[in-house]
Amino acid sequence: MSHAEHSIAAADAVVPVFPDLRGKVAVVTGGSRGIGAATCLALARSGVRVAINGRDPHALQASVAAVNAAGGEAIAVAADCSQLSQVQAMQAEVERHFGAPDFVLAFAGGGTGRPVPVQDISEQDWRSSIDNNLTSTFFTVKCFLPGLLARGSGAILTMASAGARVASGAPAGYGAAKAGIVMLTRHLAQEVGPQGVRVNCISPSAVLTERTQTALTPERQARMLAGFPLGRLGTPDDVAAASLFLLSDASAWVTGVVFDIAGGRVMV
Ligand SMILES: NC(=O)c1ccc[n+]([C@@H]2O[C@H](COP(=O)([O-])OP(=O)(O)OC[C@H]3O[C@@H](n4cnc5c(N)ncnc54)[C@H](OP(=O)(O)O)[C@@H]3O)[C@@H](O)[C@H]2O)c1
């Protein structure tokens, strides 16, 4: 079974449909794999048309194909979100195809390597963590926010991590970048709330994706369980379900929050 097929089956199992989302348009950065790909599928199952972003054209096409196979409508918009000119081009392409999106899910990012002592972090690794996570999120919001403000409605979701909430096993640069995303989210929520746009932040702990399944041996996963009161690691669908809730009118009076999707590992 391919990863995409697995995601469809999992979405069938646990992600609810939010009827008020039907007919909306979303752009999902980092939608080509893992959590982002599962969220694209869940959005499509609620009737949302999706512009899916990533860098790897093969992964991107697989994610688009999975959404279309599930009866949804998706386009691929390749861009490196750490490059402003590429995000600007992506925004123009999305708006040409669908019009301005109702929802912006800035999920692109990830960690770079194993934690090392702070004095040993290379300049390149530091800049890569910040660019790939915090700057990518800023560029995405900067480019798509005018469309939401013009409409006077819509929602933005940003992507932090348990590494932004507690000093965990994550690389310090990654934790710092994700903590920056938390504060960017709060600033934005305060700024654009009066104009009808909500901004919230998803903050997962360990979620089993293709990438993390490869990185974490079964023995390591078993050892990690002790830190999770709910007794399991997360799935991409756990994050997708929370994301749909935060986009839906079910959370109409929620903005500026950091939503820990963490099986109880993070309680702040
Ligand atoms: N999985 C977890 O346990 C976990 C926990 C906390 C937070 N998160 C966060 O959740 C998000 C998704 O994580 P994941 O585990 O699903 O990762 P993943 O499977 O590695 O997928 C990462 C996605 O982000 C895209 N991406 C990365 N950098 C990008 C860039 N500069 N421009 C455009 N796209 C970029 C990748 O696209 P390409 O591969 O096509 O380049 C891919 O679609 C990340 O922000 C990550 O930090 C994950």
Domains of the chain: residue spans and CATH = 17-111+123-208+236-261 (3.40.50.720)
Q: What letter represents residue 230's amino acid?
A: L
State whether the beta carbon of 32 lies less than 6 angstroms from ligand 1: yes
Query: Which tens digit of pLDDT belongs to each residue from 159-182?
Result: 999 999 998 789 999 999 999 999
30 in Cβ contact with 159 (< 8 Å): yes
The two tokens of residue 144 are: 């798509």
- Determine the atom of ligand 1 nearest the C-alpha atom of 212: 1
Distance 224 CA to ligand 1 centre (A): 21
User: Among all chains, which residue has been given the structure tokens 């078993």?
Assistant: 222
How many CB atoms sit inside 10 A of residue 90's CB?
24
Residue 128 belongs to what H/E stretch? helix 123-129
pTM exceeds 0.85 for this model: yes
- Determine the atom of ligand 1 nearest the C-alpha atom of 57: 40
**Chain mean position to CA 101:** 16
Q: What's the pLDDT at 169?
A: 83
- Determine the atom of ligand 1 nearest the C-alpha atom of 132: 31
Backbone phi and psi for residue 121, each to the nearest 5 degrees, phi listed first? -70, 130
Residues of the chain with pLDDT under 70: 1-13, 112
Measured distance CA(30)–CA(109) in Å, rounded:
7
Q: Is 174 a catalytic residue?
A: yes
List the residue whose alpha carbon is closest to atom 35 of ligand 1: 108
Q: What's the pLDDT at 2?
A: 37
Pocket test for ligand 1, best of 63, 64, 209 (most atoms within 8 A of CB): 209
Q: What's the pLDDT at 118?
A: 96
How many CB atoms sit inside 10 A of residue 227's CB?
16
Q: What's the pLDDT at 8?
A: 37
Query: Which tens digit of pLDDT belongs to each residue from 61-108?
Result: 999 999 999 999 999 999 999 999 999 999 999 999 999 999 999 999
Task: Please give the biggest Cα pair distance in the chain.
Answer: 51
